[in-house]
Structure 1
Amino acid sequence: MDKKLIMILEKMQKNEITEYFVYKKLSEWERDERNKKIFLEIAEDELKHFNQLKDYTKKDLKPDKIKIFLTLFLTKILGFTFTTKLMERGEDRAIEGYSDLLSSLPNINKIIEEEKTHEQKLLEILDEERLHYVGSIVLGLSDALVELTGTLAGLTFAFQNNKLISLSGLVTGISAALSMAGSEYLSTKAESSERNPLKAAIITGITYIITVIILIFPYLLTPNYALSLVLALVSSILLVLIFNYYISVAKDLDFKKRFVEMSIIIFSVSFISFAIGLIIKRVLGINLD
């Protein structure tokens, strides 16, 4: 068999045994019996494919321990839905790149197709509690980003004083967070959903406050108000980037569309608020220097 083809098969085999240990560990961690069973089924599939590939490579390859550790670490932070879907995306891209070479091995193609269809079905029915509260996180994050970046832009050119800007922004942000949490509690309570109203409210409020702290931090870091605003805007775009990537993977949504849409809204609101702040400062003749 061609040396390059053997190398590809070995890489696939190593990936299968690595994912076997990942899914096996996830099944041990999982308390929900339904999800536990799904993880065990995926793990068994991975082990079966590993053994089928071993017939070609004639090697008993060891798993990638670093990948196992990083994947499980990410799972603890971001949840199993995100990490399992991210793993599947990576594997699908690799398979696409090898498709021409693998076409000469019908049995391998059968393994690939079986794995893609079976695992996708299993991943679609995985149920993770934290994803039920994504709406609460979206509400807290998006509202804080749009509202506070606009507020900070307006305050920046109205006050031109970082102490006043950070103090005003913090008071405004905390008040808005409490208001948003209360609204989310009432809204969730009125819904007929699986979400706990109190938990949804707490998640929304905490997300809002964390976002507020991140956006105000540049004003505490440097005395230059213009630089602080730029850093706050960069921070907001990074938050949009990270969160939308997470959502796009976990819920199979269009990342680019959501990222561009939210970025345009943030910059538009910030620009309008900046203009309003500048106009009010000049019209009222306020000077706080």
Structure 2
Amino acid sequence: MTREELVKHAKLFQREEITGYQVYKNLAKSTNDKNNKTVLAKIAGEELKHYNIFKQISGVDVAPQKTVVWFFTICGKILGLTFALRLMERQEAKIQDVYERVIPYMPEAEAVKKSEEEHEDQLIALIQEERLDYAGSMVLGLNDALVELTGALAGFSLAMQNTRLIAVAGLITGIAASLSMAASQYLSVKTENDDRHAGKSAIYTGLAYIFTVAILISPFLLLTSYMLALATTLLLAIAIIFAFNFYIAVAKNLNFKHRFLEMVVISLGVSALTFGIGLLVRNYLGIPID
């Protein structure tokens, strides 16, 4: 590899490191949690150290990618530090192949790569965020709402065939179920002698349920065709499953594909079953609803 090629790669690595440094620095400034601020400052220091290593090879300064810095800074503030940092880690993984090719000619790259693999992942694991502590409660509320309400709306659609009636029935069912789920989660956590987290766990469960209910019934409030509204609701359910599972998979380093497919199959399977039940209710039990 020629000197010019080494310098080119060094500049590429510099840009990655200085961009990461700026993101971590911005997020450290934006958080009030002392532990998170300390962890982010340490990671920023590692990134700046790596930047200076590659600068010794290139001999010049390189500016950070401003759009990338902006994106991950905003992402961290809105969606949480852990999600933003894990997502950034995934983006940085794309450059690992370049590191591998350059290592034989640039020993410094191997040291930097090893440092990032050993230290940064451990530091990110130290980030403390309440929303992830209660991720299980949110999963419970969202999963139950998706399975129960998509099924209920499918059944209501065939039985009632009136979007307004379906929306009202769905809303009542959703609110009642969300309160029931929150109460059950509160009692479940309290039974485990964890009084300190019982209340918040119940709130996260209930809010996740209500949020999902509001989205799923919206097509029945906006559309006049109950079949079109039901199809839209099912598409929204899939979108919610995709977005939430992507978030959890990134933030907690879990398998996204398996979780996503499992929830989609369960939700749509229950919907298909209750759709058939609604058809039976309307056609064979003699209970017309006009």
After TM superposition, the score normalised by the length of structure 2 is 0.94
**Which structure 2 residues correspond to residues 115-130 of structure 1 after superposition, within 5 A?**
115-130=116-131
One-letter code of the match for 1:150? G
> After superposition, what is the alpha-carbon deviation per residue over 1:146-166, rounded to whole angstroms, capped at 9, x for unaligned?
000000010111111111101
Q: Which residue of 2 aligns with 1:135?
A: 136
Q: Which residue of 2 aligns with 1:217?
A: 218
Q: Which residue of 2 aligns with 1:230?
A: 231
Q: Name the stretch that deviates more: 41-50 or 122-131.
A: 122-131
> After superposition, what is the alpha-carbon deviation per residue over 1:34-77, rounded to whole angstroms, capped at 9, x for unaligned?
33222111111100001111112222111222222211111111
One-letter code of the match for 1:135? G
Q: Indicate the percent of aligned positions where both proteins have the same amino acid.
A: 45
Find the aligned partners of 1:114 and 1:63 in 2 and give their Cα distance. 21
One-letter code of the match for 1:58? G
Residues 5 and 102 in structure 1, CA contact (< 8 A), matched pair in contact too: no
Q: Which residue of 2 aligns with 1:109?
A: 110
Aligned length: 289
Residues 132 and 195 in structure 1, CA contact (< 8 A), matched pair in contact too: no
Residues 24 and 44 in structure 2, CA contact (< 8 A), matched pair in contact too: yes
Q: Name the stretch that deviates more: 131-140 or 4-13.
A: 4-13
Cα displacement (A) at 1:224: 0.9
Find the aligned partners of 2:223 and 2:86 in 1 and give their Cα distance. 40
One-letter code of the match for 1:160? Q
Cα displacement (A) at 1:232: 0.4
Residues 248 and 255 in structure 1, CA contact (< 8 A), matched pair in contact too: yes
Runs of 5+ consecutive residues of structure 2 not aligned to the other structure: none
> After superposition, what is the alpha-carbon deviation per residue over 1:238-268, rounded to whole angstroms, capped at 9, x for unaligned?
1000110111111111111111111110011
RMSD: 1.7
**Which structure 2 residues correspond to residues 16-35 of structure 1 after superposition, within 5 A?**
16-35=17-36
Structure 1 residues 5, 148: closer, same or farther in 2, change over 3 A? farther
Find the aligned partners of 1:193 and 1:97 in 2 and give their Cα distance. 48
Structure 1 residues 191, 158: closer, same or farther in 2, change over 3 A? same
One-letter code of the match for 1:39? L
Q: Which residue of 1 aligns with 2:57?
A: 56
Q: Confirm or deny that 1:278 pairs with 2:279.
A: yes
3-state SS of the aligned residue for 1:208? Answer: helix
Shift >6 Å, 4+ stretches: none
Q: Confirm or deny that 1:246 pairs with 2:247.
A: yes
